[in-house]
Amino acid sequence: MRIWTTPLTLALGTAALLSSAALAQTTRPTVKITTPRNGASVTGPVKVTLKATGVEIVPATDERPGTGHHHLFVDRDVTPANDTIPRGVTGIIHLGRGQTDFVLDSLRPGPHRVIAVVADWKHVPLKPLVVDTVRFTVK
């Protein structure tokens, strides 16, 4: 008996591989800082807007798997990935009510860097890291 490998079955196999790869891509959470754009020159106050995919953005009081809330690290490095993101630290902002934007109203003129990190209700970053960085200049 012979097993036929026709172009059709090859095409179907390839399509299945592609769709599972696409699925893996869409289910892995991402975050993007949609404004300000990387490299932009802006006037203050600077509204930072965030778009997450593959993770539901909720208030920090919502203790469910598959959820998280945004954090902004403004002109400072991110804290270690396995640590709780601290509160009350200059340059670290928890958007703990599930917000997807935040206005930075006290940035001085000059270059700035904002890193967005999605963390769970314990304020520990999701793994793999869900992170995005923009650099911009305030005029």
123 is a site residue for Cu ion (CB under 5 A): yes
- Residues numbered 54 to 113 that lie near Cu ion (CB under 5 A) are 94
User: Which of 92, 62, 83 shows the shortest CA–CA distance to 129?
Assistant: 83
Closer residue to Cu ion, CB minimum distance, 112 or 123: 123
Least gap, CB of 66 to Cu ion (angstroms): 16
Site string for Cu ion, 1-40 (x = CB under 5 A): ----------------------------------------
For residues 27 and 35, give the distance between their C-alpha atoms in angstroms, rounded to a whole number. Answer: 23
For residues 82 and 40, give the distance between their C-alpha atoms in angstroms, rounded to a whole number. Answer: 32
Least gap, CB of 87 to Cu ion (angstroms): 7
Residue with tokens 């106050």: 45
> How many residues bind Cu ion, per CB under 5 A?
2
Stretch touching Cu ion by CB under 5 A, among 13-21, 45-53, 117-125, 128-136: 117-125
For residues 78 and 131, give the distance between their C-alpha atoms in angstroms, rounded to a whole number. Answer: 10
Closer residue to Cu ion, CB minimum distance, 47 or 87: 87
Closer residue to Cu ion, CB minimum distance, 36 or 68: 68
User: Which of 88, 96, 90, 89 shows the shortest CA–CA distance to 118?
Assistant: 96
Residue with tokens 């960085």: 133
Residue with tokens 């769709």: 19
The site for Cu ion (CB under 5 A) is made up of 94, 123
